[in-house]
Structure 1
Amino acid sequence: MTKKWVYLSSSAEKDLTKTLGHKPELAEAKVIMGGKGAGLATMTGTGLPVPPAFTITTEACIEYMNTGEFPKGMWEQTLQALGEIEKATGKGFGDPKNPLLVSVRSGARVSMPGMMDTVLNLGLTDETRPVLAELSGDEWFSYDAYRRFITMFSDIVMDYSREHFEEKLRELKHKEGVKLDPEVSLEGMKGLVDEYKKMYKDHFGTDFPTDPHEQLRLSIKAVFDSWSGARAIAYRDHEGLPHDWGTAVNVQTMVFGNLGEKSGTGVAFTRDPATGKKELYGEYLENAQGEDVVAGIRTPMKIAQLNQVMPDIYKQFVGVAKQLEDHYSDMQDMEFTVERGKLWMLQTRTGKRTAAAAIKIAVDLVDEGMITKKEAVSRVRSQDVDQMLHPFFDPQEKQKAKERGDLIAVALNASPGAATGGVVFDAEEAREMGAAGKAVLLVRPETAPDDVPGMLASQGVLTQHGGMTSHAAVVARGSNLPGVVGCESIRVDPQKKQFTVQETERVVKEGDVISIDGSTGEVFWGTIPTIEVEYEKQQDLIKLLSWADEIRTLGVRTNADLPEDAKRARMFGAEGIGLCRTEHMFFDPRARDAVVRMIMAKTDQERQAALDEMLPIQEKDFEGVFEAMDGLPVIMRLIDPPMHEFLPAREELIEEVATLRCKDPKSKELAEKEKMLQIVNAMWEVNPMMGLRGCRAGIMYKGLTEMQTRAYFQAACRCTKRGIKVKAEIMIPLVG
């Protein structure tokens, strides 16, 4: 029996039941037909007005990826499905008397930016265009549809940038003295189509395809190929999505929103995707095709304004939106077209939303009796909760910044939160300026332990290199510091105290103000207002987390190294501290100086003097941690990192010593630097993970473990005397 590669939307449920041996759940349908295909089948099956369509399965895409060819029988099934659409519409694909035009869309099982864009008006040729003009009664419309198709096919299917075509359109509008596409004359549009076909032939050495079936074959192939494109791969890597899912292909009968004032197109959500508020949210554009809403060719009107223009259509659409949300029990993202007063639904899918909206929608759906508490918790990602605990940019102000062209770059969103400050390229300078109350943002090629004081004094950190587990990312997350890392689209030059945006060659100098969004990885020029988070006022989040507590069976402790970290963790519901990294208490400049003297001490007396200075610092911090955790367990880990990390970087010392030798070979400073370099060289290791660290350092540096233990238990005793319940535990690193 030939494997089924193609499903008609009108009979998909019945055919899937036959294929699977049982009635498919929505998740199963999405695996085979993708999100768009499953949505079309659902809408068609519930009697909504959907243009006839069919879906080529994700399995066909996987087979194509493995072999480089369409799977056996797929093309024949595609032509059969096309024949069924011809029967349903009374039109013929390539028929010069009554042509069927279709759109071709990709559709993975989840919404996936970076996949192939939509191709509209497929099936138009020199032969079918005049018929479209006659049937629509609008010759200008037929040429507009044709030039759009040539542009989209060339760009999306053949990878010949649409910018070449858009430039010709801009030149024509300038020549005719008009601003909007619909204002271009009929003669101008005719000439533009001829120009586009000439450009295609000049570039590819062949005429624009005149066989609709060849147009369709190439478009399907382009959808399959887009799954393996760089953009799609990068997105899946970022979101942690498998690379072997494949994408479906959706072929749907064209309906036209650009057939006059009783036509239009729009995109809408059943709830506000930014806030989660229960109200219809979206935009509608009169006399336009779907791409016009996104392209911003004209300013669309709010979806509510459709009620004034076409009240009957608006009322029908509101009913459809409610029906779809009730069916899916989730907020829906819908695309629709109105063709000469008739509503057509083109797509529905679970809508993407902000962290705030995700939490509000989940809680509201429980309150409305549509989903269970367990379902609500499962729908909110951990990163959504994390993002809600950090200051964030006002979404409207951020959008304005993008519209102004102030978006500099997008990189890895290493640590959530929003930060704005003057650019500083030196960590020590950042520490000094931060201590003076100035808002700074540390920008480095990458960071090292020496940079930590400067990082902690900054509003946020931006690095050119590094990944999600780099030093900058780990420290930023552990310190609740907004961070963007791996920003390879900029060149950071600490010596010149500037960085350059490679694409535009725009130079950002020290002191210039930038803003970073650690939740999205975006970097902006200038200041963007932020919205401060007040946890106690986030009732939806508190409610959702209380449901998570009801459901979970796992105990949750926190990583907290300082009293303020412990207080924050306790407020968020931590049941203790699973790891207190004591070395972080030594990042304070005074404590760090004592650590350096302890490492470089020549005698036991010198080392003990340094340890005596370190003890009260640790004792005070331990006491603060116990106070915050009152009655909850605290696991303290003895100092763990390689000891050379507390000393200046080896490369910097070599450079400083060379400079001082040239200036004054007999200076006291040179002698001290040479001594430090000698110690660093002795401690330097190819693999510090296996070197002088953890319990080995405690053995090598006499008194270090004793000092830390004494500070810990003295703090515990002091707290106990004050009536604070203490549950103290110690972790000895690198034992076993």
Structure 2
Amino acid sequence: MKSSIHFFGEGKTKIQDNCLENIGYRGRQAVALDKMKLPILPGFIIDSEVSSTFDSKKLEPVLKSNLGKLEKKLNKELGSKENPLLLKVVVSPNLQFSNYPPIHNIGLVEPSLEGFIKHVGDNFALHEVHFLLRGVLDIEAKIAELESNEDRLKSISDVLKIIEKQIITEENSDGKMPPAATQKKTISNALELFPDEFSKDAFFQLNYILERIKCLIQLEEKAEGAIGDSETALLIQPMVYGNYGKNSGSGLFFTRNIVTGEKVLQGTFFKETFNELGSEGMDVNKVSKKHIQTLKEIRDKIEKEFKEIRSIRFTIEDDNLWLIDQRPVHGKSTRADIRVLLDLLADKVIDDKYAINSIKPSQLNELLHPMVDTTSVKGFKSITGGISGAPGSAIGKVYFTTEGITEAYKEAVKTGGDKNLILCMAATYADDVKAVEMSNGVLSCEGGYSAHASVVARQYGKVSLVKPDMKITGKKATIGNVTIKEGDYITLDVPYYGDPTVYLGTADLIEPDPKESGLLDLVALVKKYVTDDFFVRVNADNAKSADLALKFGAEGIGLCRTEHMFFQEERINLFRHMILAEDKKERVKVLNKLKTIQKKDFYEIFKVMSGKEVTIRLLDAPLHEFMPHTKEQLDSFKEYLTSAGINLTKSQLDERTQRLEEVNPMLGHRGSRIAVSYPEIYEMQISAIFEAAHKAKKEGVEVLPEIMVPLIMNSNEIKLLVFGKKIEGLTYKGLLEVSDEVQTKAGDDPIPFKVGTMIELPAAAVGAGEISKYAQFFSFGTNDLTQTTLGLSRDDFNAFMPDYTQFDLIEGNPFQKLDSNVKELIKIAVRRGSLTRPDLKTGLCGEHGANPDNIKFCMDAGLNYVSCSVYSVPIANLAIAQMNLSE
């Protein structure tokens, strides 16, 4: 029997490792703290070898011996009229969660109650008797239920209902205790359910409770058909009270700030109070110097042991500080997680591998986007649900058109007003990009994760939420019975995990700070484990995004969408003019103006990306997307045309625009097909690229351009665009000839560059062996490759995808996680392309690029890199580092 009772306390526990399985989860927690020499309350454990089989008579001497140690340590005595020792019994199963309630205040009998009242007062003492009785009656109720003793169960339940109404709990923290006479009557009625000695003899009370717990464990085992020894131990410890005199108190704190990760105790101390229920405390850092030093020592040891922020409860009784327990913290921020890991790494408590593997890649979204301060939205009307397009939180006034939000932004800039704006539209198009950039977030109702609004929002670090149930009529939106009008303030909260929420009103936001949050330090650590074999590039169309991406660890640009460069207000009408030009001469005239703009953009990007590859995709989007979609846009374009000396009526303009419209534009006149029809467009872009490159090179910039031709379906197309062709008096100038002309004009040495293509059609994947004769690199555009492989529209499939999910017809969202057939096409393309061109470089630049599952596939398939939006670069790098470390 003696070998099955384990005493702990004062850092002198003698429990051997081979016995740890027998003392349960709670027991192991207590022993671990004792081994760390922390001021844990001493106690002892009846291990699982005997917890359900012990003989009370044989247990009695061992029990009394261990109780004597506790009495000596706390200077109290079980059953004493002056300074009684009270106990708690906690059932400690091997699992973290227990179905058995703990029992507190064991030893409160008629003699000891008198002594307890002297220290804590009559009202609190009676309150604790209630707690004792509730705990024991919970055990008795479970026993009666298992024994099918309905009469006893009813008697117990009736008394328990009365007790529940009279005690202060978390659910009833503002409640007041009834008069003492009422409490005593309740106690008297409850005691009728127990033997007389239960209220008179403290040791009998302890023995009785242990016997009843043993009985319950036996009944539970029998009911579950268990065979052999129980896996449940019993943990016995003294009770201490924060209201046990002037030099007493209770507290709880986190080992550091759970939002910022600052190494400062964060919590509350309740002076001369048992616990926090119904109490107002003070900052835990204001406890006495003697005790704050102990708390900091506890903090340091706990963090080093558990390697994370923990929550700690403690009690000071009569100027003695006792650690009650410590637990994980579920509400801590990723920023705090990273900060503690970096501190532990600096102190050599953990190594690089542990630090990197302790953060899930998806957690980094929290550091890259604002978060709602949840305390600021209490009482706000809210609407939950929707499809997360781009994570984060955003506040602003709602506007329903690009023109409306543009005018509001201009006015705010001019007057110094509020520039917090939310764009609310059914869907966005090419010419709405600038509006997305001006806004803090986008609320739409068409499409989903891969819709235009979501893709552009991710690129610019904005928030995007798709609410399919939202109806937009004019300048108001209706979601259920909630109406949002133009000018109303809303808050979008789109977490990476959990349901998105729209709050009506302005919340407080916690803004991201990559440096202060520790993100940049983490990126530097992670980059040590991202090799040249597989790395991350960024999808970026301007120097600002490119510069930020470098800070996040990007190794070049994997996709520069040149069509995005024309969406600014001073450029879009010029581009529309080029589209509607009646002949080549007029088109070239406008293209020369656009070239000046593109050259400046490319030059700025090359300077930022000096020494790193920049993959520039030539114009891809269908031309009709650039044309006016609203009356305001049409009026603006007409005004531009008039100023350019072109007088078109509205009907003439409509007629020309309609000529461009296609039934299925995503598979129509776009990408390389535009270049075949209008070679002067790509000529302009190639010239702009190389003029910018030569200019940058002369300034000492190392320029490494890669020209990507989009939407290639066969080798003949790319051969034509790269090398050109002469037929029947018609000359098609290839990009190599254009680059040579620019070099000659610049009087400079050749700039090394690569020509490649985006593989986004199944035909291109299957024909990769022929295409790679003319392409030095492949970039897989998996958004379109998924669409064309599965025949799914990324903008429309959300309407019926829930039905497919319900019947398990498709695994997840194919625009987030690569479909197996799309993967197969990628593997075919890599294999066939590499056979033709062994030094072929391959990457993935679709929206799939930051998903760890997709990244693992890309690495296994032999790709060289993934390219993703700016704010996904750290996420992808972390995923790669974790995979490299796992190997």
Shorter-chain TM range is 0.5 to 0.7
The two structures have a TM-score, normalised by structure 1, of 0.61
- Contact 2:261/2:339, CA 8 A, preserved across alignment: yes
Pairwise mapping of residues 404-553 of structure 1 onto structure 2 (< 5 A)?
405-406=379-380, 408=382, 415=390, 419-436=394-411, 437=413, 439-444=419-424, 447-449=427-429, 450-463=431-444, 468-481=449-462, 483-486=463-466, 491=470, 493-498=472-477, 508-516=484-492, 526-527=505-506, 538=516, 542-553=520-531
Specify the alignment match of 1:324 in structure 2.
302
Out of 256, 267, 280, the position equivalent to 1:282 is 267
**Contact (CA 8 Å) 1:53, 1:85: kept in 2 or not?**
no
Q: Structure 2 vs 1, CA of residues 43 and 704 (structure 1 numbering), >3 Å: closer, same or farther?
A: same
Counterpart in the other structure of 2:343: 364
Deviation at 1:515, TM superposition (A): 4.3
CA distance in 1, matches of 2:516, 2:174: 45
Letter of the aligned partner of 1:435 in structure 2?
A: K
- Cα deviation for residue 510 of structure 1 reads 2.5
CA contact (8 A) 1:445 1:492 kept: no
Q: How many angstroms apart in 2 are the aligned matches of 1:433 and 1:105?
A: 62
Match of 1:42 among 14, 21, 32: 32
Cα contact 2:339–2:517 (8 A) shared by 1:
no
Distance 1:722 1:123, change over 3 A: closer
Question: Residue 647 of structure 1: CA displacement?
Answer: 4.8
Aligned 8 A contact 2:87 2:236 in 1: no
CA displacement 1:631-671 (0-9 Å, x = unmatched)? 43211112334555445679x99xxxxxxxxxxxxx95456
Among 343, 350, 360, the residue aligned to 2:322: 343
8 Å Cα contact 1:271-1:277 kept in structure 2: yes
Alpha-carbon distance in 2 for matches of 1:52, 1:268: 23
User: Residues 465 and 492 of structure 2 are in contact (CA less than 8 Å); yes or no, is this contact kept in structure 1?
Assistant: no
Counterpart of 1:14 in structure 2: which amino acid?
N
Larger radius of gyration: 2
Inter-partner Cα distance in structure 2 for 1:533 and 1:673:
45
The aligned counterpart of 1:334 is 312
Aligned residue among 10, 18, 22 for 1:14: 18
**2:702 is the alignment partner of 1:725:** yes
Structure 1 position 479, deviation (Å): 0.8
Residues 273 and 351 in structure 1, CA contact (< 8 A), matched pair in contact too: no
Aligned to 2:155: none
Counting only pairs closer than 5 Å after superposition, residues 95-494 of structure 1 correspond to structure 2 as: 102=90, 121=101, 138-143=125-130, 180-185=174-179, 260-261=243-244, 266-285=251-270, 297-307=278-288, 317-336=295-314, 343-349=322-328, 353-379=332-358, 388=367, 392=370, 398=373, 400-402=375-377, 405-406=379-380, 408=382, 415=390, 419-436=394-411, 437=413, 439-444=419-424, 447-449=427-429, 450-463=431-444, 468-481=449-462, 483-486=463-466, 491=470, 493-494=472-473
- Contact kept, 8 Å, 2:48 with 2:233, in 1: the verdict is no
Matched residue SS, 1:276:
coil
- Output the CA distance in 2 between the equivalents of 1:13 and 1:350: 27
* 8 Å contact kept, 1:335–1:346: yes
Alpha carbons 1:441, 1:461 under 8 Å: kept: no
TM-score (norm 2): 0.52
Is the 2:52–2:217 Cα contact (8 Å) retained in structure 1? no
Which amino acid letter does the alignment assign opposite residue 537 of structure 2?
R
Is the Cα–Cα contact under 8 Å of residues 257 and 264 in structure 1 kept in the other structure? no
Contact 1:273 1:352 in 2 (8 A): yes
Q: Give 1:612 deviation, angstroms.
A: 4.6
Q: Aligned partners of 1:80, 1:643: CA distance in 2, in Å? A: 80
8 Å Cα contact 1:50/1:346 also seen in 2: no
Give the partner amino acid of 1:283: T
Q: CA deviation at 1:347?
A: 3.1
Q: Using a 3 Å threshold, how does the CA distance of structure 1 residues 727 and 213 change in structure 2: closer, same or farther?
A: same
Matched, 1:712 2:706: no
CA distance 1:624–1:15, change in 2 (3 Å): same
Aligned mates of 2:163, 2:402 — CA distance in 1: 50
Aligned length: 585
CA distance in 1, matches of 2:55, 2:619: 71
CA contact (8 A) 1:428 1:451 kept: no
Letter matched to residue 460 of structure 2: S
> Which whole-Å CA distance do the structure 2 matches of 1:217 and 1:586 have between them?
77
SS of residue paired to 1:452: helix
Measure the CA separation in 2 of the matches of 1:607 and 1:169: 87
Q: Give the aligned residue type for 2:474.
A: Q
One-letter code aligned to 1:616 = T
Partners in 2 of 1:463 and 1:128 — Cα distance?
64
Q: CA deviation at 1:144?
A: 5.8
Does the 8 Å CA contact 1:644/1:683 hold for their aligned counterparts? Answer: no
Are the counterparts in 2 of residues 334 and 349 from structure 1 also a CA contact under 8 Å?
A: no
Offset at residue 730 of structure 1 (A): 0.8
What's the CA shift for 1:193?
Answer: 12
CA contact (8 A) 1:514 1:525 kept: yes
Change (3 A) 1:399 1:626: same
- For residues 233-288 of structure 1, the C-alpha deviation after alignment (integer angstroms, 9 at most, x for no partner) is xxxxxxxxxxxxxxx99997798677854686543222222332333322244687
Q: Is 2:309–2:337's contact at 8 Å kept on the other side of the alignment?
A: no
What amino acid is aligned across from residue 372 of structure 1 in structure 2? D
Taking a change above 3 Å as real, the CA distance of residues 43 and 182 of structure 1, as seen in their structure-2 partners, is farther
Whole-angstrom CA distance in 1 between matches of 2:419 and 2:529: 42
Which one of 608, 613, 632 corresponds to residue 612 of structure 2? 632
Question: Is this contact kept in 2: 1:266–1:336, CA < 8 A?
Answer: yes
Rounded to whole Å, the distance in 1 between the matches of 2:137 and 2:445 is 40
Matches of 2:237 and 2:32, distance apart in 1: 19
Which residue type is aligned with residue 478 of structure 1?
Q
Pick one of 606, 616, 623 that aligns with 2:596.
616
**Residues 425 and 510, structure 1, Cα contact 8 Å, conserved in 2:** yes
- Distance in 2 (CA, whole Å) between partners of 1:506 and 1:683 is 36
How far residue 401 of structure 1 moved from its aligned partner, in angstroms, is 1.6
Q: Report the Cα distance in structure 2 between the residues aligned to 1:701 and 1:191, rounded to whole angstroms.
A: 96
Does structure 2 conserve the Cα–Cα contact (< 8 Å) formed by 1:516 and 1:523? Answer: yes
What letter matches 1:588 in structure 2? Q
Q: CA deviation at 1:561?
A: 0.6
SS of equivalent residue, structure 1 residue 181: coil
Identity of aligned residues (%): 25
Aligned counterparts of 2:425 and 2:109: Cα–Cα separation in 1? 60
Instruction: Indicate if the aligned counterparts of 2:383 and 2:503 stay in contact, CA closer than 8 A.
Output: yes
Shift of the alpha carbon at 1:531? Answer: 7.3
Change (3 A) 1:258 1:435: same
Residue identity in the other structure for 1:361: V
Task: Answer whether contact 2:602 2:689 (CA < 8 A) is retained.
Answer: yes
Instruction: Work out whether residues 402 and 435 of structure 2, in 8 Å CA contact, stay in contact via their aligned partners in 1.
Output: yes
Any conservation in 2 of the 1:10–1:45 contact (CA below 8 Å)? no
Contact 1:463 / 1:487 at 8 angstroms: preserved in 2?
Answer: yes
Structure 1 residues 329 and 598, CA gap change in structure 2 (3 angstroms): same
